Amino acid sequence: MIRIRHRKLVFLLPGKNSPSSVSLLPNRTRLCTDLLSSSSCHGFWKGSSHFKASLSTRKISASTSSLSFKEQIEAESRVEHVGLLNAVEDKYEGIVIEMKEPMDSAEFIPLLRASMVKWRQQGKKGVWIKLPIGLVGLVEPIVQEGFRYHHAEPDYLMLVYWIPDTPDTLPENASHRVGIGAFVLNKNGEVLVVKERSGGFKGTGVWKLPTGVVGEGEDIPSASIREVKEETGIDAEFMEVLAFRQSHQSFFRKSDLLFICMLRPRSFDIQKQDLELEAAQVLFTLVVEN
């Protein structure tokens, strides 16, 4: 079904009984022009000398945003014929498209263009396209439409577009990676330390604290307990955060936050992880008591 939009355009015409407005229809509906007769358009009288105005859309200028009235009508007509992408609105006057069904570029791009016309008219701002890895063939045509990469996960790529002619205020991708260092201290004043088989300390003979990266949705205390268990087999209880530090350009241009956590061991049988560690043991340290 094709939906026809009506718009009222006011004409100042001489004569006290002359009509004050006329419905303007899209180009696909025949417009009444010249001298209107009662047989051709209901509501106007034949041969009226008062009604000399031409209704040609070529002579009408009605601007909505940056489109002329005629361009807007034609664009809306294309939108109604082509259809729109399934999308939801976010809290910030933006649009989120989550692609799930298989679709090739010949089918997708006309839908995207028609949707962008509609969203621009509605005053929308950011457009987010979540593209699953199975639709990787759409990446290039979407980028050619002006979209840019925002971030990627193992199973999807997120592309974004800023519609208004204003500074782009879309939030940037994650700026930091978060890690932990585990300071595991037993009641004898001994600290759990490890030698790494890979990484920056490989082959140096340096003993260090167990460290690792906090997972998505994981709390810092939970991450410290998990890393100690994975690397050394020791069950431990989180006590407190002792310190943290920030460094930049640490991981593919991302900054790094490292939290040093104090833990108390609940088991004492060390079982080192052979894949990452060369050795793990407890070392004597002097604890000064006040």
User: Which residues on adjacent β-strands are paired with residue 277?
Assistant: 196
CA 47-49-34 angle, 5° bins:
65
pLDDT confidence tier of residue 278, bands split at 50, 70 and 90: low
Could you tell me which CATH class the domain 176-284 is placed in? alpha beta
Residue 238 near residue 214, CB atoms below 8 Å: no
Q: What angle do CA 187, 192, 195 make, to 5 degrees?
A: 165
Share of the chain above pLDDT 90, in %: 52
More confident residue, 107 or 277: 107
Q: Would you tell me which CATH number, out of the four given (3.90.320.10, 3.40.630.30, 3.30.413.10, 3.40.50.1970), belongs to the domain 83-162?
A: 3.40.630.30
- Do 132 and 99 meet the contact criterion of CB atoms below 8 Å apart? yes
- Phi and psi dihedrals of 40, rounded to 5? -95, -35
Rounded to whole angstroms, how far apart are CA atoms 94 and 124?
A: 5
Which residues, in sequence order, are CB contacts of 218 under 8 Å at separation 6+? 226
SS3 at position 76: helix
The 3-state secondary structure of 121-172, one letter per residue: HCCCCEEEEEEEHHHHHHHHHHHHCCCEEEEEECCEEEEEEECCCCCCCCCC
More confident residue, 275 or 186: 186
231, 234, 263 from 237: Cα distances, Å: 15, 10, 5
pTM of the full structure:
0.62
**Where does CATH 3.40.630.30 sit in the chain?**
83-162
Q: What pLDDT is stored for residue 50 in this prediction?
A: 38
64 DSSP 8-state letter: B
The residues annotated as belonging to the active site are 230
Average pLDDT over residues 203-225: 93
- pLDDT above 90: residue 227: yes
- What residues does CATH 3.90.79.10 cover in the chain? 176-284
Question: Can you give the pLDDT at residue 70?
Answer: 55
